Amino acid sequence: MFAANRNRVIALTMALLVMFPISVVAAKWQWSRHLEREAINALVLENTKQPIELTAIAPAGIDPGDEYRPITLVGHFEPASQKLLRKQTLNGEPGYFVLTIFKTESGSSILVNRGWVAAVGRDVDPQAELNISSGTTEISGRVRPLEGTNESDPSDLPIGQTNSARTFAPQLNLDVIVEQTEGQPLAGPQAVPLPEIQAGPHLGYVGQWILIGITSVVVYISVLRNLRREHNQSAN
């Protein structure tokens, strides 16, 4: 039927067989990302209203459903344990998280993320106040799982810096980290903000991929009709 245009039809069909499945897969993936974003938003909104007690945290860490719950700790920091977690950004600016072990009155050793400080080259902003008292104090924060994979750092790192919060794991009783929100010196690190409560772009991308899939089918049918018309005209 389309002997003169057979190669064009084959190429067009192959293009459709590639683009349409890609559109379907991409739309499904973006939809799953949208659902994940909604689940995180719901978790953050709900959990930030429900404080958790230290006694409710198992040594192996928190249940995923307890992430971001507020907690209050009484005890003292161990200044000698303090390290800077490298390659952390805030509002697009490079910097460090200030990590310090906190010893509670009950004897638990917990890692605390005291907040973010800006980087100046490979060093920390000299105006940031990182010194901290070892006296008894009360702090508030949010519980998060202790992330990272490395329990040791390369020997060429600057003194007092680390690539992974998990390097503290052997010194801790609980496999968690507390993001400090209150009890920080005025000139100290900036508290780590909560994840943004927003839908994100994924739903829009779903629509775009659906539109691309539909357009590929419409273009395929339109071109076939044009080829048929050309064939019929040449036959006459």
The pLDDT tens digits for 93-124 are: 999 999 999 999 989 999 999 999 888 877 77
pLDDT at residue 146 tops 80: yes
Check if the beta carbon of residue 178 is closer than 8 Å to that of residue 73.
yes
pLDDT at residue 201 tops 90: no
Bigger pLDDT: 227 or 108? 108
Average pLDDT, the chain: 85
pLDDT at residue 190 tops 90: no
pLDDT at residue 2 tops 50: no
Nearest residue to 174 (alpha-carbon basis) of 55, 47, 83: 55
pLDDT at residue 200 tops 50: yes
Amino acid 54 reads: L
pLDDT at residue 232 tops 80: no
Nearest-angstrom CA–CA distance, 97 and 95: 7
Q: Which CATH architecture has domain 53-182?
A: Beta Barrel (2.40)
Beta strands (DSSP E) in the chain are: 70-77, 83-90, 93-104, 109-120, 123-124, 137-145, 161-162, 176-182
Q: What is the pLDDT of residues 154-178, one digit of tens each?
A: 777 888 889 999 999 889 988 999 9
Nearest-angstrom CA–CA distance, 138 and 182: 9
Bigger pLDDT: 236 or 10? 10
Domain boundaries, the chain: 3-43+201-235, 53-182
Give pTM, 2 decimals.
0.72
Nearest residue to 50 (alpha-carbon basis) of 60, 58, 42: 42
Bigger pLDDT: 85 or 148? 85
